[in-house]
Amino acid sequence: MSVLTALGLLLSGASVAVGSFSSPPAELYSPLVAEKIRTTALSPPNPMQYPQYTDRTVGDWLYFSPDTWTTGFFPATLYAIYDRAQSCHWGADNASEWLALGRQWSSAEVSLEKNNTLEHDVGFVSFPFMDELQVNPTNQTAITAINQFAADLAARFSPIVGCTRSWDTPNPVDFEVIIDNMMNLELFFVSAALTGNQTLVDMAVSHANKTMQHHVRPDGSSFHVVEYNATSGDVIASFTAQGYSDSSTWSRGQAWGIYGFANSRHKHPSIARSVAKRSAIVYMHTNITDYLETSRRMASYFLDHLPDDGVVPWDFNAPLTPPRPADSSAAMIAANGLILLAQQEASLTPSNATGYQYYIEAAIDLLRANTELAWQPSWQSLLANGTVNNPDHNNLTGIVYGDYYFVRAGNELLAMNITTCQPGPQTVNNGSSSSSSSSSTSSCLPLRILHAKVWWLLHLAIVVVVAVT
């Protein structure tokens, strides 16, 4: 097969990939996904609060103030459904309503730019503003939010330690850094693309290097917390706050690491196009191969330590008796990390077709096993069986970031032509839904989706050629 033949098949919508993949779980594209998210979105609390996790019995959301680290996930989920409404042709009115809801739910975050107690988690609350820039790259509210939150994160960076401080401590000499902080580095990259501030990129690279050195063990597992001496930069201790023990591997932290290191190497074409008009530099992450290798090692540990049923435990080393709780949120984060790893394997020169195939199949297996366990149609959340903080006995719940990464995984598989769209609701503003018809919508992909889709189709064409030659 020639490159032109492969590319032509891909652009025509044919399913061309390396080998064949298992089917993703049908629940990823169930009408309940949009319906349940819509129901929550149409009933915002007054004053505004945000869902974080559910109760353990009937699955109703529990709400928290905007000054909470998880605030950005629900509005980011609304933007993700907006993406799906566009790419799956649910209708222009439908898509515009999802966008309006995303903007509405993001609005209460704006005040956090000047006053918050989020510490390093300003990266997570920035997610909907990053999404907005992909819709409207000149949106000044989003630009200001991203740059201000990046300034907050930069103020927590220590050149002595080489990291951003995660948690404040009673003794400021104790400089604590958690593996989760890898997820907040994208804020530095996006703000640097908007402003041309190379110092932010340097901070991100330094933090990733230190995390790679001190959080990731030789076998690819990870510590949750590494504590440094703020004066000397020396490591004082390595321990856990939410895992089973200081020497164990907390699964959600491992998932953050897989995703974070793959993302530290990741080139993001859609944001690149959004900010190119505003900046002299093209947005891209570091392209440092060590980060890709670290993500691979962490993924190998994660997959090699799954139980036979594929359900992700709260901690890989927790005793089996009494039964250890699962964490569906860790599964969803890891699935997205594996998809991102697959994309990275496809982007190599030459493309790693075997790696691409392996990580996509692993992600689908992870989604299937954990959706089978956690899909809960009667709950307000999409998924149950999440573990917020097991040492605090907060488990067996729905979690907002588990739902967010569940939706994101479905979108990524659609964008990569691994699966196909399902009909969606045509309206969201009146509480009703009806299936959309392909004949009633445009056959053209919206520009935002087209950029990402064409970019991946180009890489997949290369992967196909490598596989068949």
Residues carrying an active site annotation = 121, 180
Spatial distance between the Cα atoms of 309 and 314, rounded to a whole number of angstroms: 14
Spatial distance between the Cα atoms of 156 and 274, rounded to a whole number of angstroms: 28
Structure tokens at 18: 């390396």
**What residues pair up with 338 in beta bridges, in sequence order?**
none
Q: What is the DSSP string of 27-39?
A: GGG-HHHHHHHHH
Nearest partner of 361 among 345, 377, 348, judged by Cα: 345
Contact 37, 404 (CB under 8 A): no
Report which residue type is found at 68: T
Contacts of 430 (CB under 8 A, 6+ apart): none
Contacts of 201 (CB under 8 A, 6+ apart): 188, 189, 192, 286
Structure tokens at 295: 């993500």
What are the phi and psi torsion angles at 435 (to 5°)?
-70, 140
Spatial distance between the Cα atoms of 26 and 406, rounded to a whole number of angstroms: 12
**What residues pair up with 167 in beta bridges, in sequence order?**
176
